[in-house]
């Protein structure tokens, strides 16, 4: 039964069952959902995996400035005249998915299946935190004119209990033998990309823009399909400081990555995000890491790049928030292979302001686009020869109470059957060096490339 169809009837209800799932592993859960819609989102010490689709929210980009509010309106409209009940403590209904970088994105080719906005309300979620037992959250819709609530609850509870038992009993199962998968690579032409950086520096010198984020691609063709969940698991294991994500709207279509920052985190009217810009390698030893971090903190070019991103976010927040505060000085965010300048931003939102309302005010930030925004977008139109799709667009979740966590989709790849396209970008400001910017983007391909290699891609 599809929620979007059945909620047309005013009597339609949604029922939720929540049970403990001691020992359940999210990767095993996702593998059991192979062939259907599924997703995974990990942040700090918490994670959630989901499968199935009760409802689907979509925007086609015909009203570009309204797609964030349109998605939120559509989510709330699903429940007009409806009621729902819970069996066990459960979170608010959460929608998982994302938005494309540009509102006029066309879901074609490798981006088929990824419209300008797409969110799923899952049938089942497995949620956990380090040090705590996971819990299963299952939902179903029914019409009380045709189904008795006791029978629906009993059926859903039996299904959830059965799945919880399967996931618990599978702990410790032997993993299948990892097979090598031959690949071919096709990378952006270095000379052409560095010429684009040079043209960006010319536009900056003429004061047409102060910053632009130029991206490039790396295509990886597999001889046969690789286990996407294996790749996500390696991303998660080796990028603990990032926001690891997978969104798979259908079989053979996936978008995954490990973003270093959030664009908006909203919880009960409180906002938190991080401005991240400025990049250097991590280094191979603790001493080298410290030396590179100090160099990053003292880099005039990286400090300027970071300041542009921070000041624009703070300015735009004034329209939706009170008490906007940011750390006085940036600190170094150290990830698996790379380091960034990072500044935390906090605010108290105006009454009625939701996570998607904040997103509408902030996206695209200078960290993924440039400044001034319109001039940077025009420059990217001229210089980038590929479709960004969801790259650098906001991905994550929101609920109907206005909360949400959304990150810019960075260090990412889109997958279409055996074709993988990786994306990496660099912020170009006065003082940027084309050769060094190329090396920076090479570092930013590494999270997904290493996860692929560890999953058998050769």
- The string of pLDDT tens digits covering residues 6-19 is 344 445 678 888 88
Catalytic residue among 261, 383, 387, 446: 261
Q: In the beta sheet, which residues pair with residue 426?
A: 214
Interatomic CA distance for residues 50 and 128, integer angstroms: 12
| 71-83 exposure pattern, b = at least 16 Cβ within 10 A, e = fewer | bbebbeebbeebe
Do residues 396 and 244 touch, judged by C-beta distance below 8 A?
A: no
Interatomic CA distance for residues 71 and 69, integer angstroms: 5
Find the range with the poorest average confidence among 82-96, 160-174, 193-207, 308-322. 82-96
Interatomic CA distance for residues 231 and 345, integer angstroms: 32
DSSP at 125: E
Find the range with the poorest average confidence among 159-173, 313-327, 443-457. 159-173
Q: What is the pLDDT of residue 8?
A: 41
User: What is the residue whose two structure tokens read 């020869």?
Assistant: 385
Structure tokens at 378: 């025009």
Catalytic residue among 72, 74, 211, 437: 211
| Residue 208 φ/ψ, nearest 5 degrees | -80, -35
| Residue 411 φ/ψ, nearest 5 degrees | 50, 55
DSSP at 31: H
Using CA atoms, how far residue 20 sits from 50, 151, 157, 386, in Å, is 15, 21, 12, 45
DSSP string, 170-204: TTTPPPPPPPPB-EEEEE--HHHHHHHHHHHHHHH
Packing angle of the helix pair 355-362, 300-317 (nearest 10 deg): 130
Do residues 345 and 317 touch, judged by C-beta distance below 8 A?
A: yes
Q: What is the pLDDT of residue 148?
A: 67
| Residue 150 φ/ψ, nearest 5 degrees | -65, -40
The residues near 283 (Cβ < 8 Å, ≥ 6 apart) are: 289, 291, 292
Q: Which of the four pLDDT bands, split at 50, 70 and 90, describes residue 5?
A: very low
Cα 84 vs. chain centroid, distance in angstroms?
29
Using CA atoms, how far residue 130 sits from 23, 101, 233, 407, in Å, is 11, 32, 15, 21
- pTM, two decimals, is 0.92
DSSP at 457: B
Name which residue leads in pLDDT, 344 or 164.
344
| Residue 245 φ/ψ, nearest 5 degrees | -140, 150
| Residue 306 φ/ψ, nearest 5 degrees | -65, -40
Interatomic CA distance for residues 329 and 307, integer angstroms: 10
Within 10 Å of residue 173's Cβ, how many Cβ atoms?
9
Interatomic CA distance for residues 399 and 266, integer angstroms: 10
- The string of pLDDT tens digits covering residues 207-236 is 999 999 999 999 999 999 999 999 999 999
Q: Which of the four pLDDT bands, split at 50, 70 and 90, describes residue 331?
A: very high
DSSP string, 192-248: HHHHHHHHHHHHHHTTS-SEEEEEEEEEEEESS---HHHHHHHHHHH-TTSEEEEEE
Active site includes 261? yes
| Residue 76 φ/ψ, nearest 5 degrees | -70, -35
Interatomic CA distance for residues 441 and 418, integer angstroms: 23
Q: What percent of the chain stands above pLDDT 70?
A: 90
Using CA atoms, how far residue 301 sits from 231, 277, 432, in Å, is 34, 11, 7
Q: Which of the four pLDDT bands, split at 50, 70 and 90, describes residue 77?
A: confident
Within 10 Å of residue 182's Cβ, how many Cβ atoms?
11
Mean pLDDT computed over 82-106: 77
| Residue 373 φ/ψ, nearest 5 degrees | -60, -55
DSSP string, 331-385: EEEE-SSEEEEEEEEEEEEPTT--HHHHHHHHPSPTTTSEESHHHHHHHHHHH--
Q: What is the pLDDT of residue 10?
A: 42
Cα 319 vs. chain centroid, distance in angstroms?
25
Q: Which of the four pLDDT bands, split at 50, 70 and 90, describes residue 265?
A: very high
Average pLDDT of the residues of the chain: 89
Closest CA relative to residue 163, chosen from 35, 23, 48: 23
Q: Using only C-alpha atoms, what is the Rg of the chain?
A: 22
């Amino acid at each position: 039964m599809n929620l979007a169809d059945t909620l047309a009837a005013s009597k339609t209800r949604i029922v939720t069952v929540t049970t403990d799932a001691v020992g359940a592993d999210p990767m095993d859960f996702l593998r059991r959902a192979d062939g259907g819609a599924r997703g995974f989102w990990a942040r700090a010490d918490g994670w959630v995996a989901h499968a199935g689709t009760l409802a689907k929210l979509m925007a086609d980009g015909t009203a570009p400035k309204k797609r964030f509010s349109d998605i939120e309106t559509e989510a709330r409209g699903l429940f007009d005249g409806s009621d729902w009940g819970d069996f066990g403590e459960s979170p608010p209904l959460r929608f998982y998915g994302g938005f494309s970088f540009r509102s006029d994105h066309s879901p074609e080719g490798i981006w088929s299946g990824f419209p300008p906005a797409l969110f799923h309300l899952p049938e089942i979620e497995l949620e956990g935190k380090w040090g705590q037992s996971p819990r299963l959250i299952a939902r179903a819709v029914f019409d009380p004119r045709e189904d008795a609530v006791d029978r629906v609850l009993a059926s859903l509870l039996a299904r959830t209990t059965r799945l919880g038992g399967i996931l618990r009993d599978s702990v410790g199962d032997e993993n299948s033998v990892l097979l090598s998968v031959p690949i071919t690579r096709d990378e952006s032409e270095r000379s052409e990309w560095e010429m684009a950086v040079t043209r960006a520096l010319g536009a900056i010198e003429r004061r047409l823009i102060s910053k632009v984020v130029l991206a490039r691609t790396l295509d990886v063709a597999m001889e046969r399909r690789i286990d996407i969940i294996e790749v996500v698991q390696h991303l998660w294991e080796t990028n603990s400081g990032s926001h690891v994500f997978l969104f798979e709207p259908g079989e053979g279509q996936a978008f995954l990555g490990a973003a270093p920052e959030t664009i908006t985190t909203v919880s009960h009217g409180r906002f938190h995000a991080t401005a991240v810009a400025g990049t250097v390698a991590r280094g191979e030893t603790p001493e080298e890491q410290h030396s590179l971090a100090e160099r990053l903190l003292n880099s005039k070019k990286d400090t300027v790049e970071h300041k542009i991103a921070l000041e624009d976010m703070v300015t735009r927040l004034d329209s939706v928030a009170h008490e906007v505060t940011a750390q006085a000085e940036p600190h170094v965010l150290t990830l698996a292979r790379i380091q960034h300048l990072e500044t935390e931003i906090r605010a108290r939102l105006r009454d009625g302001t939701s996570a998607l309302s904040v997103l509408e005010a902030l996206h695209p930030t200078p960290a993924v686009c440039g400044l001034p925004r319109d001039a940077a977008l025009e420059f990217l139109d001229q210089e980038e020869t590929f479709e960004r799709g969801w790259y650098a667009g906001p991905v994550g979740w929101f609920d109907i109470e206005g909360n949400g966590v959304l990150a810019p989709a960075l260090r990412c790849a889109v997958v279409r059957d055996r074709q993988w396209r990786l994306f990496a970008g660099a912020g170009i400001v006065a003082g940027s060096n084309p050769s060094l910017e190329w090396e920076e983007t090479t570092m930013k391909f590494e999270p997904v490339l290493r996860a692929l290699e560890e999953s058998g891609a050769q």
